[in-house]
Amino acid sequence: MLLARWRGLVQACAALLTNIHLPNFFKGTLYRGAGKTVCVPGLNCYSCPGAAGACPIGAFQAVVGSSKFSFSYYITGILILLGVLLGRFICGFLCPFGWFQELLHKIPTKKLSTKRLKPLTYLKYVILVVMVFLLPALVVNEAGMGDPFFCKYLCPQGVLEGAIPLSLANTGIRAALGKLFSWKLCILVTVIVLSVVFYRPFCKWLCPLGAFYALFNRVSLLSMHVDGGKCVSCGKCARTCPMDVDVTKSPNHSECIRCGKCVSACPTQAVSFRYAFGSGALCSKLPLNPTTDERKGE
């Protein structure tokens, strides 16, 4: 699969396009034009100096937490659309924070498996419901306003993209950094350290945006397809999968980020990306390597 091969480049381009206002990094200011009324697909802080759009999770909390609205249909609509069109492909290809964790994972050290930590993957759904929706909507002041709990207390991307670059270039912001900054810097450092030894720990366990898209993996137009006739049950795909998914058992598992490593790993080209309604016929089976020789060895 060609796309999977160029994934690193796609991720880099997506991160760049999402944060295209580069001069702002030196000025210590934010872009606040029309682009900020739309949200980007990945987890990318509104307060990143370069950010071209709003963060869907941040925007959702801002609306839910405001006194005028109790639910954000606009953001939810965009997220459902993105979920149906792409699902967690967004995690694998378009999310800057996912890319960041992947780059950290390339630092050569001993790597640990997250297979035994599977129960932790449900934590992100709790975070989505509690921190992104319930707390901002229900814990309100006398004017009916709630805090964006996820952004305020948990999100490491906000520190990485917002607080750190802004405070480096802007003395007023630097002076305003307090205990919350220290707390979230600790979270960021923890995520960074974990990312070196585990593959995408934040995506697997904590990310509420990943959790939302995960709900759409099963119905997403983009899906994985395993050709039962070609599969030789060698198990290579499951061993390769960094998200602990066995694609042959559940091709559209909620943890699958569509990275395509199983497509490349499959010796018989039984696994492929598919972009279609239901069991539609539009299959993409671009061969990556001629692997017929390898099959003998299996």
Residue 32 CB-density burial (10 A; 0-12 exposed, 13-18 middle, 19+ buried):
exposed
Kindly state the smallest distance separating residue 277's Cβ from other proteins, in Å: 36
Select 166 or 245, whichever has its Cβ closest to other proteins. 166
Q: By CB under 8 A, is residue 142 in contact with other proteins?
A: yes
Kindly state the smallest distance separating residue 167's Cβ from other proteins, in Å: 8
Count of residues interacting with other proteins (CB under 8 A): 29
Ramachandran quadrant class, 212 (left: phi over 0; alpha: psi -120 to 50; beta: rest): alpha
Per CB under 8 A, the segment of 15-23, 164-172, 236-244, 266-274 that binds other proteins is: 164-172
Q: By CB under 8 A, is residue 260 in contact with other proteins?
A: no
The C-alpha atoms of residue 27 and residue 8 are separated, in whole angstroms, by 29
Q: Where are the beta strands (DSSP E) in the chain?
A: 222-226, 271-275, 283-284
Q: By CB under 8 A, is residue 66 in contact with other proteins?
A: yes
| Helix spans in 86-226 (H) | 89, 96-105, 123-127, 135-138, 149-153, 156-157, 164-169, 171-176, 179-197, 201-205, 208-214
CA distances from 43 to 13, 210, 287 (A): 15, 9, 32
The C-alpha atoms of residue 223 and residue 275 are separated, in whole angstroms, by 6
Binding flags for other proteins, 74-103, as an x/- string (CB under 8 A)? --------------------------x--x
Q: By CB under 8 A, is residue 34 in contact with other proteins?
A: no
Kindly state the smallest distance separating residue 131's Cβ from other proteins, in Å: 16
Q: By CB under 8 A, is residue 168 in contact with other proteins?
A: yes
Q: By CB under 8 A, is residue 141 in contact with other proteins?
A: yes
The C-alpha atoms of residue 150 and residue 208 are separated, in whole angstroms, by 9
Q: By CB under 8 A, is residue 38 in contact with other proteins?
A: no
Q: By CB under 8 A, is residue 178 in contact with other proteins?
A: yes
- List of residues contacting other proteins (CB under 8 A): 8, 29-30, 32, 62, 65-67, 100, 103-104, 106-107, 141-143, 145-147, 164, 168, 170-173, 175-176, 178, 192
